Chain A
Amino acid sequence: MLADDMACNARNEYPAQVFNNENHKLNLYGDNVEVDYRGYEVTVENFLRVLTGRHENAVPRSKRLLSDEGSHILLYMTGHGGDEFLKFQDAEELQSHDLADAVKQMKEKRRFKELMIMVDTCQAATLFNQLQSPGVLAIGSSLKGENSYSHHLDSDVGVSVVDRFTYYTLAFFERLNIYDNASLNSLFRSYDPKLLMSTAYYRTDLYQPHLAEVPVTNFFGSVMETIHTDSVYKAFSSKTSNNKINSEMPVNQLSEHDELQKANIPNDELKTEKQKCPYTQMRVDLHEKLEKFENVDTVVNLGIAVMVFVVMISSSLL
């Protein structure tokens, strides 16, 4: 839902392009963007209709949410806001109890499994004060009484191009690569109140799973570029990828390290416990040996060859 047409605005020096940084490296308004509600259609009524699914019959499918009880929904809202409200089109407001009611209806109708609300406005955390439905995770860029600020001004375009909270969220995601298994905890802990000039507050009392176990890809997706290559597909193990994490992210590394340690401990326990039973011990040893191999394919091939050999011998014997 975009209320204003920014990319093709007559005042935009760079038509059909929206940047999030002064260096103009990344064009957010790519070639395949689709906007379902824009202009005068962005109203509180349409927003609540999309959430609750109460549309007229003629509304086409691309304008409906079409979620079911297994869906993970990401709801990101930005603009001007205040104590328990968010401004729409400079003419009306979305209030926190309206949002809470809509989420409650969604929960009753089983329209989501997990919902993540991200709000980047002044006093954003007040917008989800009234939420009560389980399965909802919410983060706001500032507390009550605090303002949220923009990051920097692009003197070429003439406006501030990105807000601080959004800038640091995007920076977090730009640091990840395809093999990183970053968790929501690492995302939420990456916000520094001194850099944001406000406190990014999140509430997890309605959300059952531990944030450290929830990967960010549960809610966030990315644009994947497919490049055709003629080389053979190779499987990557997770151990090599951990080394690629930069030291700029000590928090992330710590959490990853913790995860590794936690993962290692049950294995040791398994080892010491099962020493008594030789069969399971053999299985565990074999499993560990297999895990150590870089190229599982050759082992499997070898195994098949050995099996064929054994079958031949046995059939010749019989």
Chain B
Amino acid sequence: MASLIRSWIPLLILQSFLVAIAFGSKEAEEFSEALLLKPLPDRKVLAHFHFENRAPPSNSHGRHHHLFPKAISQLVQKFRVKEMELSFTQGRWNHEHWGGFDPLSSMNAKPVGVELWAVFDVPQSQVDTSWKNLTHALSGLFCASINFLESSTSYAAPTWGFGTNSDKLRYGSLPREAVCTENLTPWLKLLPCRDKDGISALMNRPSVYRGFYHSQRLHLSTVESGQEGLGSGIVLEQTLTVVLQPETTSVETNMQPSWSLSSLFGRKVVGSCVLAKSSNVYLQLEGRLGHESKNVDTEIEAHKLWKNADFDLSLKPDRVLRESSSLLFIFDIDKSSDSEPFDLGLTWKLPSKWSCQQAPLQATRFLMGSGNERGAIAILLKATESQEKLPGRVVTDGRCTIKANIFQIFPWYVKVYYHTLQIFVDQQQKTDCEVLKKINVSPSTDKVSSGMLEMMLELPCEVKSAAISIEYDKGFLHIDEYPPDANQGFDIPSALISFPSHHASLDFQEELSKSPLLSSFKEKSLVRSYTEVLLVPLTTPDFSMPYNVITITCTIFALYFGSLLNVLRRRIGEEERFLKSQGKKTFGLKQLLSRLTAKIRGRPIEPPSSDSPAAQSSFLSSKLIFKIILVAGAAAAWQYFSTDN
């Protein structure tokens, strides 16, 4: 008995140990969805869809996924991607009206077209190959021509100017890529509920693509688990940001338009995605001052927040949060269903105006110069009115400065002369050392790699405007390298202006574990803005010239060889002689025959008609002369009648 018990005890201990391990390390996949709606000051509405999918470390969980898209986990494993962001954008983010300082605009105001950057976890020599294979895999996954980023002329390796400090980072951008339903469809297929259920069912394609700005973004990062040998988990964040204009029936132009989900998207939310851990709709209103000191908890006060003199919400929010000057209404859509669809509406009763907080400096970029030989690129940074109120002003040596990082890529056919860099602060030229603190230049190589420029400027806080200009020469492309619409011009991708000393975050003082959207807002993100894409017209060749050259060359060859052969081989009168010889040959036969017939008939022998060739030749020549006279007469008549007019 005792021996049995003794043998049982270690077994029990082992079992409890295993159970403890199983429960302790059990992490499940999590998926959460959220929709943030925000009225904008210029009568538009911003809708931001946010989907987050977390996969635990693969070694503990195996390769089985039930919520996480297998395509993404295979991508991460095959190419050893540590962090990646891919965005498809159309439209320009209006920093003046829509803000530049909040985490939403810093993370979602993307350059036009496709932008891809990735950090790899492979040895330095293999980073370029991994990048190339990654671009091909993504182009197949998202139905876009991302594979154009594979050639070394289209991507760059930024260092500190981009914000992520890594030497295994590659960045590429395609400004001219179109974005349409075929890019949204595979993006939606990565979600567990696709576009059939939950918040993603709102995405009516015509409504999304009718917007003033739409940008779909996919950000994936690997999360190192603390324990060795467990691999790393993956966090996949997918966001779609759309700026729409609701249709207004009101005549007053200073009143904000009233809208609802069904008027914006044509659809209502019928139930949440059952696979989602949390499914919320947020409504954020900015510029709501004046209710700060009152206690939110009392019923009447809470009621006043969402139905008051300024505006009315059609549904009661589940929770209300506030943060300095913005109000956040939270709606939980788990309770909605087919019979009770969720259709949030906002009705404005009084005209109200507010402004969104902007980045300290507003950046624009433009081309200078004319002609097809050279030009200049200029970046203009203008101070915005919210500059004084912003936190993050660095005081060094008794002076207050704003730091700005500028990161630009120049294609190889825009041959930039870095020594012509000029910096103007408040319209006075400054020597570089005063303002330019750090610069990193990677010059371009013709047809091999593009040029990259990273600058860090330190501008005084009271600056009104700053301008940076740089001159370039236009290069020549080979005729094969021109796209079919070569006369449109060629693009210089957007420059990225970031402010390393300013960090944007929105802290709503709320328990964060429930809402990934709010926790992503709480993280301090770098304030950044992208400039416009520049269109550079390059000299184009005459594309019909190869055809012309071939035609002319062949004509010359034909004339040369033709005349050469004629001179060498042609004999004049060859035909008559041939006929004569033929006549002589048949003369014998014919003569015999005629003789025979004559003998039979008893008629005299007739001489052969030997003067017929001569008659023929004279006849021929007279015909020829007649033809020549006719053609000459026609030409003369034509000349006469044409000059008559």
A7 at the interface (CB under 8 A from B): yes
Tell me, yes or no, whether B483 is within 8 Å of chain A by CB: yes
Contact of B141 among A40, A41, A59, A60 (CB under 8 A): A60
A residues contacting B by CB (< 8 A) are 5, 7-8, 14-17, 29-36, 38-41, 58-63, 89-91
Interface hub of B177, B180, B206 (most chain A Cβ within 10 A): B180
Q: From B137, B178, B205, B209, give the contact of A60 (CB < 8 A).
A: B137
Give the complex CA separation of A58 and B132 in angstroms: 8
In Å, the complex CA distance between A36 and B483 comes to: 19
B131 to chain A, nearest CB (A): 11
Whose C-beta in chain B lies nearest to the C-beta of A17? B206
A13 and chain B: residue at smallest CB distance: B210
Other 9 A-B pairs with CB < 8 A, given A32-B185, A34-B186: A16-B206, A34-B143, A38-B144, A38-B145, A40-B483, A60-B136, A60-B139, A60-B140, A61-B140
Q: Are A35 and B484 in contact (CB under 8 A)?
A: no
For window 199-250 of B, CB contacts with A under 8 Å fall at: 205-206, 208-210
CA distance A22 to B395 in the complex (A): 65
Q: Whose C-beta in chain B lies nearest to the C-beta of A35?
A: B182
Known: A7-B181, A8-B90, A40-B148. A15 touches B140 (CB 8 A): no
Asked if A29 and B181 make an inter-chain contact with CB atoms under 8 angstroms apart, the answer reads: yes
- Report B187 CB to chain A, min CB distance, Å: 11
Known interface pairs A31-B185, A40-B145. Does A16 touch B195 (Cβ–Cβ under 8 Å)? no
Question: Would you call B145 and A41 a contact (CB within 8 A)?
Answer: yes
Chain B residues contacting A90 (CB-CB under 8 Å) are 484
Task: Give min CB distance, B133 to chain A, whole Å.
Answer: 5
Interface residues on chain B, size class: 20 to 34
Q: In the complex, which residue of chain B has the Cβ closest to the Cβ of A39? A: B145
Cα distance A32–B144 in the bound complex, in angstroms: 15
Residue on A nearest B483 in the bound complex, by CB: A40
| Residues from chain A with Cβ under 8 Å of B182 in the complex | 33-35, 38
Q: Give, as a whole number of angstroms, the nearest-CB distance from B112 to chain A.
A: 12
Query: In the complex, A33 Cα to B205 Cα: how many Å?
Result: 11
Interface of A is mostly: loop
Cβ–Cβ < 8 Å partners of B543 in chain A: 91
| Cβ of A14 to closest chain B Cβ, rounded Å | 7
A5: chain B residues at CB < 8 Å are 178, 180
* CB nearest neighbor in B for A90: B484
Quick one: which of B171-192 are within 8 Å of A by CB?
176-182, 185-186
Could you give 25 example pairs across A and B, Cβ below 8 Å?
A: A7-B181, A8-B90, A15-B206, A30-B181, A31-B185, A31-B205, A32-B185, A33-B181, A34-B182, A34-B185, A34-B186, A35-B182, A36-B140, A38-B144, A39-B177, A41-B147, A41-B148, A58-B132, A58-B133, A59-B147, A60-B141, A61-B140, A62-B140, A62-B143, A89-B484
A15-B209, A17-B206, A31-B181 given; A58·B143 CB < 8 A: no
Closest beta carbon of chain B to A177's beta carbon, Å = 26
Q: Which of B133, B147, B178, B185 contacts A8 (CB 8 A)?
A: B178
Q: A7 contacts which of B90, B137, B143, B180 (Cβ < 8 Å)?
A: B180
